[in-house]
Amino acid sequence: MSRHETVIGLEIHAQLKTESKIFCSCSTRFGGEPNENTCPVCFGMPGVLPVLNKKAVEYGIKMALAVDCRINSRSIFARKNYFYPDLPKGYQISQYEEPLAEHGRISILSGDGEKVIGITRIHMEEDAGKSIHSSTENVSYVDLNRTGVPLLEIVSEPDMRTPREAVAYLKALRGILLYLEICDGNMEEGSFRCDANVSIRPRGQEEYGTRTEIKNMNSFRHVQKALEYEVGRQIDLVEDGEKVVQETRLFDVEKGVTRSMRGKEEAHDYRYFPDPDLTPLIIDPDWVEILRADLPELPIARQKRFVSDYSLPDADALVLTSEKDLADFFETAVAEYNQPKKICNWIMGELLGKLNERGLSISGAKITPGQLAALVRLVDEDKISGKIAKQVFVEVFDKGIDPEKVVEEKGLVQISDSSALEAVVDEVLGAHPDEVQRYKDGQKKLLGFFVGRIIKETKGQANPGVVNKIRSRKLG
Amino acid sequence: MKITREEVARIADLARLELKEEKVEKFAFQFSDIIGYMDKMNSLDTSGVEPLYSPSENRSVMREDKAKKDYRRKDLLSSAPDHDEEYLIVPKIL
């Protein structure tokens, strides 16, 4: 065990899936023409006033409730002042002194059992625009479509002790956002972003070491790699008698290292003050109670239910419930055909394998839960063999046609009819008199040869049980 | 409380303002006066008083989440010093 203990805290920015922006009625749609979804509020024109989106507040409250936060009945919007062209007003509207919610917690599973991570605060703010820096000319291009998209910033306590725990926390938080259907959780497109504060300290020491802030991690894998690198870097510094400098570092995806972004640090004086354009946000406790009553089942609860109701192994239940759509797919299939373990196996094996191979998510797949259930039923009813079922699955997956139809059109029905199979058995035995003689003389391992031939003759459609019966009757 | 010329220069820098030398001196005096007045107010005991975040008595007003498009990009871009009919163009950052 290392002499050093790692301390990690995470700041998450989650884009909320509202139809319109947080302080104006422009669309939040991603993609499209640059500056298409903008207005004088987005442009920071003099005299415009922000008007808060009720849905954004509702989503913030839902998230706060899902992670057991205390919701502040009065919260304050503040101006965070800095200059950057993708923020035309010269300040970002955020929350500072009195955030929407505080003091929450979330359970994570990281392989070392269940652990509770504290949530310091959740606040609301507006997203900034995007700029593209010209490589040939001395200019930057600014697109304000993202300006004003509602964000929830979720700040954790420095409770994580390994990069793996940090990733488990991120996954748990993302899972909740997806279950609440308030964020699409896409790390590559930036609708779910993560910055990490990392430090080390001698094991047993109370006081925290000097921390660095790590940015630019666009996937769970990046988070894991960036944090592992950064922890190693800090340990090397300290063991060489040097000091960790408090700074912001960017993860370099290509090289797998973190790099200092010097120069930006010094200017960090945001001069927060309450935004006079927005009155304090007063939250009616009745509204909170209505939202609380309406909360869906959350991932951890659903995972535990999958283990108890369907007798699934913990690991399978964790994978199935990690994505709401996947868990819904499973439960819809089980409602069609009550064989949870078999359906789970097909999802864990063939379905996730194919989705991975094609880079698809379950919501983008053509196969329906009913079709998967029907396929499992076909095998159980001996209509097709397990081997044929895998072929049928690929057809259903690619084309979204019913498995019964695939079986019928391709003539894949399992042959269980003894008289039909008997003819095939006779044919195979007749074609190999030498082998038959050797078998009868005691070379019993030729059995596999015969069965293989018979199955091949029927293109895999022979019912192996029936074949075996006929064979033993004929050959003894 | 005395505000130094260095502090004025730093605040001007944060606000992206370029100040002539004589203005720095002038603002240092003015800032000191204002802060001095704040110090006087800070000497009052306000421990039992709720902070006032807004002088308005109104509660927060919220709007329904409906997207609308009321402005044409062409018109918005035309108010900017430079654009290429799609993007705003600004001096290079980074």
Single out the residue in A290, A317, A343 at which a domain terminates.
Answer: A290
CA distance A443 to B86: 81
Looking at the structure, tell me whether residues A239 and A135 fall in a common domain: yes
Binning pLDDT at 50, 70 and 90, where does residue A246 land? confident
Q: What is the pLDDT of residues A137-191, one digit of tens each?
A: 889 999 999 999 999 999 999 999 999 999 999 999 999 999 999 999 988 888 9
Measured over the CA atoms of residue A376, residue A382, residue A387 and residue A392, the dihedral's sign is negative
Element (H or E) spanning A395, and its range?
Answer: helix A386-399
As for how many domains chain A has, the answer is 3
Question: Are residues A236 and A334 both part of a single domain?
Answer: no
Q: Tokens at residue B79, please?
A: 């108010």
List CB contacts of A132: < 8 A, sequence separation 6 or more. A140, A141, A143, B87
Instruction: Determine the residue type at A433.
Output: P
Among A153-162, A192-201, A253-262, the minimum mean pLDDT is found in: A253-262
Q: How far is CA A268 from CA A10, A225, A313, B15, in A?
A: 19, 27, 49, 13
Q: CA-based Rg of chain A, rounded to a whole angstrom?
A: 30
- Alpha-carbon gap, residue B15 to A90, rounded angstroms: 9
Strand segments, DSSP code E, in A203-328 are 212-215, 248-252, 257-260, 273-274, 281-282
Distance of CA A83 to the CA centre of its chain: 34
Least Cα distance to A91 among A358, A278, A222 occurs for A278
Q: Which helix (H) or strand (E) holds A373?
A: helix A369-380
- The span from the CA of A185 to the CA of A189, in Å, is 9
- For residues A306 and A195, membership in a common domain is answered with no
Contact between chains at B90 and A25 (C-beta distance less than 8 A): no
Residues A148 and A286 in one domain: yes
List the single best residue of A17, A29, A48, A139 to mutate versus B (max B Cβ within 10 A).
A139
pTM as predicted: 0.81
The answer to whether the beta carbons of residues A291 and A65 sit under 8 Å apart is yes
Long-range contacts of A405-408 (CB under 8 A, 24+ apart): A407/A378, A407/A383
Identify the CA nearest to B51 among candidates A123, A400, A273, A347. Answer: A273
In a domain, B19, yes or no: yes
pLDDT number for residue A461: 73
**Residue A168 and residue A156: Cα distance in Å, rounded?**
13
Please, what is the average pLDDT of chain A? 88
In terms of CA atoms, which chain B residue is nearest residue A17? B65
Q: Is residue B87 part of a domain?
A: no
Q: Does the CA dihedral A234-A240-A246-A252 come out positive or negative?
A: negative
* pLDDT for the residue numbered A429: 82
Residue A415 tokens read as 């042959």
Which residues, in sequence order, are bridge partners of residue A105?
A118
Q: Whole-angstrom Cα distance, residue A16 to residue A419?
A: 64
Residues A438-455: what's their mean pLDDT?
A: 81
**Contact present, A152 and A122 (Cβ < 8 Å):** yes
pLDDT for position A170: 94
Q: How many CB pairs under 8 A join A and B?
A: 124
Looking at the partner chain, which of B54, B63, B86 has a beta carbon nearest the beta carbon of A34? B86
- Ranked by mean pLDDT, the top range of A24-28, A200-204, A206-210, B11-15 is A24-28
Q: Sheet harboring A101-109: ordered strands across?
A: A70-71, A101-109, A114-126, A150-156, A4-15, A192-202, A212-215, A248-252, A257-260
By DSSP bridging, strand A281-282 and strand A74-75 are antiparallel
Instruction: Domain count for chain B, please give it.
Output: 1
Give A314's Cβ-side CA count (13 Å radius). Answer: 6
pLDDT value for A92: 96
Q: Which residues contact A468 (CB under 8 A, 6 or more apart)?
A: A451
- Give the per-residue pLDDT at A265: 47
Residue B22: inside a domain: yes
By residue range, what is the domain housing residue A443? 418-475
Measured from the Cβ of residue A20, the count of other Cβ atoms closer than 10 Å reads 24
Q: Does A314 have pLDDT greater than 70? A: yes
Q: Which of A264, A290, A316 is the last residue of a domain?
A: A290
A72 and A135 both lie in a single domain: yes
Rounded distance between C-alpha atoms, residue A159 and residue A192, angstroms: 21
CA A128 to CA A85: how far, in whole Å?
Answer: 9
Please indicate whether, in this complex, the C-beta atoms of B63 and A25 are within 8 angstroms of each other.
Answer: yes
pLDDT range class, residue A111, cuts 50, 70, 90? low
Picking from A271, A290, A309, the residue at the C-terminal end of a domain is A290
Q: Which residues of B touch A33 (CB under 8 A)?
A: 73, 86
- Among B53, B58, B92, select the one facing A134 at the smallest CB separation: B92
Residue B1 has pLDDT above 80, yes or no: no
CB A424 within 8 A of CB A458: yes
- For residue B91, the chain A residues in CB contact (below 8 A) are 138-140
The yes-or-no verdict on residue A460 having pLDDT over 70 is yes
- Which residues on chain A are in Cβ contact (under 8 Å) with B90? 85, 131, 139-142
Do A59 and A139 fall into the same domain?
yes
pLDDT digits (tens, 9 = 90+) for A339-385: 999 999 999 989 999 888 888 888 888 899 988 888 888 888 878 87
- Average confidence (pLDDT) over A16-21: 97
Q: A residues 273-292 near B, CB within 8 Å? A: 274, 276, 278-282
CB contacts, 8 Å: A98 with chain B: 53
> Domain of B19?
5-42
B85: confidence class by pLDDT, cuts 50, 70, 90: very high
Q: Are residues A109 and A247 in the same domain?
A: yes
Phi, psi of A3 (to 5 degrees): -70, -15
Same domain, A364 and A455: no
Find chain B residues with C-beta within 8 A of A138's C-beta.
91-92
Chain B partners within 8 Å of A280 (Cβ): 53-54, 59-60
- Kindly state whether residues A145 and A229 are assigned to the same domain: yes
Instruction: Name the residue in chain B with its Cα closest to that of A78.
Output: B53
Confidence grade of residue B74 (pLDDT, cut at 50, 70, 90): very high
Cross-strand partners of A8 = A160, A198
Tokens of A288: 């909170």
Average pLDDT over residues B2-11: 88
- CB nearest to A36's CB, from B58, B73, B84: B73
Residue B37 lies inside a defined structural domain of this protein = yes
Same domain, A78 and A207: yes
Q: d(Cα A245, Cα A216) in Å, to the nearest integer?
A: 19
Please tell me whether residues A363 and A439 are part of one structural domain: no
| Tens digits of residue pLDDT in A388-429 | 888 888 888 888 888 888 777 777 676 666 677 777 788 888
A279 to chain B, minimum CA–CA distance in Å?
Answer: 5
Report the pLDDT value the prediction gives residue A476, as an integer from 0 to 100.
64
ipTM of the predicted structure? 0.88
